[in-house]
Structure 1
């Protein structure tokens, strides 16, 4: 049986934790920081866990990340 392929876009953007949750970076931090509030930039640091609905979209694209 051939191996299943992992979606390249998902392996670059997401990471699955040991408990099965999906980590992702915050949106809105590529450019245009000057117009964003300091509160937004502070809260958008690091990574966040996705909600269950979004996890259901990402996990099938990463078959070996469970």
Structure 2
């Protein structure tokens, strides 16, 4: 059997935490910020955990992590 390949795009966007959960950046903070309130923009900072329903797909995209 050939080796499984890592999905490069997913590997750049997601990383594992120490406890084995998946971490991601928040969306909607890159452009068209003028119509978004400062309170809303602050909420886009930092990272959050991937939803449990998406973990199975992510493990398939990044097999070795």
Q: TM-score, structure 2 length as denominator?
A: 0.87
CA distance in 2 between counterparts of 1:50 and 1:7 reads 17
Distance 1:29 1:44 in 2: 6
Shift, 1:9, TM fit:
1.0
Q: TM-score, structure 1 length as denominator? A: 0.86
Residue by residue over 1:17-42, the C-alpha shift from the partner in whole angstroms, topping out at 9 and shown as x without a partner, is 12111111111011011111111111
Question: How many residue pairs end up in the alignment?
Answer: 65
2:19 corresponds to which residue?
19
Q: Which runs of 5+ in 2 are unaligned?
A: none
User: Which residue of structure 2 aligns with residue 60 of structure 1?
Assistant: 60
More helix by share: 1
Q: RMSD of aligned C-alpha atoms?
A: 1.3
Residue segments in structure 1 that go unaligned for 5+ positions in a row: none
